[in-house]
Amino acid sequence: MPEGDTIFRAARTLHRALAGQLVTTFTSVFPKLNRIDEDSPIAGRTIERVEARGKWLLLHFSGNLVLLTHLLMNGSWHIYRPGEKWKRRRSDMRVMLATPKIIAVAFAIQVAEFHTEVSLARRRGFNQLGPSLLADTFNPTEAAARLRLLANEEIGAALLNQTVVAGIGNVYKAEICFACGVHPFRLVVSLSMAETMCLMAKAREFLQANVTSTSRDRVVTYTGMRRTTRRDDPRESLWVYRRRGEPCRKCGRAIEARKQGIEGRTTFWCPGCQPQK
């Protein structure tokens, strides 16, 4: 599933391509979107801005209308010039909007909803989001307090809870815990305040490092090199994620992994650098 850095970069690219432009065509396979379009046409509206909030992407149109999308596991946004060949099958298209200069296509997304600002504030799963790690207003102390409210949950599972902070996915969960020397299967209640603050600080640091102004923005599901080690070699870009059985880059112990949480996501850690106290 795309994580917060991927969605941030996608929103940034979409905003640069679409903001201020007039919509000339809107098409969707979702009946609920089409009903809104029939009653209050999207064509003729201006795209005011595109933003990311955690793993959600929002397109704001003139006339107090917002298209809220979530990519889940396989969704992606692409942009094309008029007449340019699409890189995915047309049967994968779920939403398409065109301006005189750009065609934006959402492929294989499962969540796409129109909202006003009022209905957006009531949308379950969205209105309970914790602070976005990439927001200018992010407060690590507030985020740490939210994490500590989940006292009896395992740390790795708690970090994926988007009501704590918005944007952490399975990759960053593992990398953040490693960077702070925290075993992901410990309970949140066992964290010291220093460990809690470290987790929040590293979460923000890692996501920010992957959305720098020099990052290669792509409005597609992330397939590029995400780095937490600061090493340029793509084979050494991550500390523990998907490295089960390989030697730890710090202590040499074999990386371990097992399923965690209700969704059974695989968690990776180093038993040497992250002892289970």
* Long-range CB contacts for residues 122-125, cutoff 8 Å, separation at least 24: 123/68
pLDDT at 19 over 70: yes
The verdict on 187 and 244 lying in the same domain is: yes
Question: Is the residue at 274 inside a domain?
Answer: no
The chain-wide mean pLDDT, for the chain, equals: 92
- Would residue 117 show up in a list of annotated catalytic residues for this protein? no
Of 2, 131, 140, 184, which one is the catalytic site residue? 2
pLDDT at 57 over 60: yes
- Would residue 3 show up in a list of annotated catalytic residues for this protein? yes
Residue type, 13: T
pTM: 0.87
In this prediction, residue 216 carries a pLDDT of 52
Domain residue limits at 230: 140-269
Question: Is the residue at 113 inside a domain?
Answer: yes
**Residue 141 corresponds to which tokens in the numbers above?**
């102390």
The verdict on 86 and 163 lying in the same domain is: no
Of 3, 51, 153, 175, which one is the catalytic site residue? 3
- Would residue 35 show up in a list of annotated catalytic residues for this protein? no
The verdict on 158 and 110 lying in the same domain is: no
Give the CATH number for residue 65: 3.20.190.10
Of 146, 256, 265, 271, which one is the catalytic site residue? 265
Cα–Cα distance measured from residue 79 to residue 196, given in angstroms and rounded to the nearest whole number? 39
Cα–Cα distance measured from residue 272 to residue 277, given in angstroms and rounded to the nearest whole number? 12
Q: How confident is the model at residue 68 (pLDDT cuts 50, 70, 90)?
A: very high
Across the range 11-21, mean pLDDT stands at 95
In this prediction, residue 78 carries a pLDDT of 95
Across the range 86-110, mean pLDDT stands at 96
Rg (CA), the chain: 20
Question: Is the residue at 134 inside a domain?
Answer: no
The verdict on 91 and 154 lying in the same domain is: no
pLDDT tens digits for range 203-240: 999 999 888 755 554 544 344 567 787 777 777 789 99
Match 């290669």 to its residue by tokens: 216
pLDDT tens digits for range 28-45: 999 999 999 999 999 999
How many independent structural domains does the chain possess?
A: 2
Of 9, 12, 53, 55, which one is the catalytic site residue? 55
pLDDT tens digits for range 127-142: 999 999 999 999 999 9
Of 238, 240, 236, nearest to 256 (Cα)? 240
In this prediction, residue 214 carries a pLDDT of 54
- Would residue 265 show up in a list of annotated catalytic residues for this protein? yes
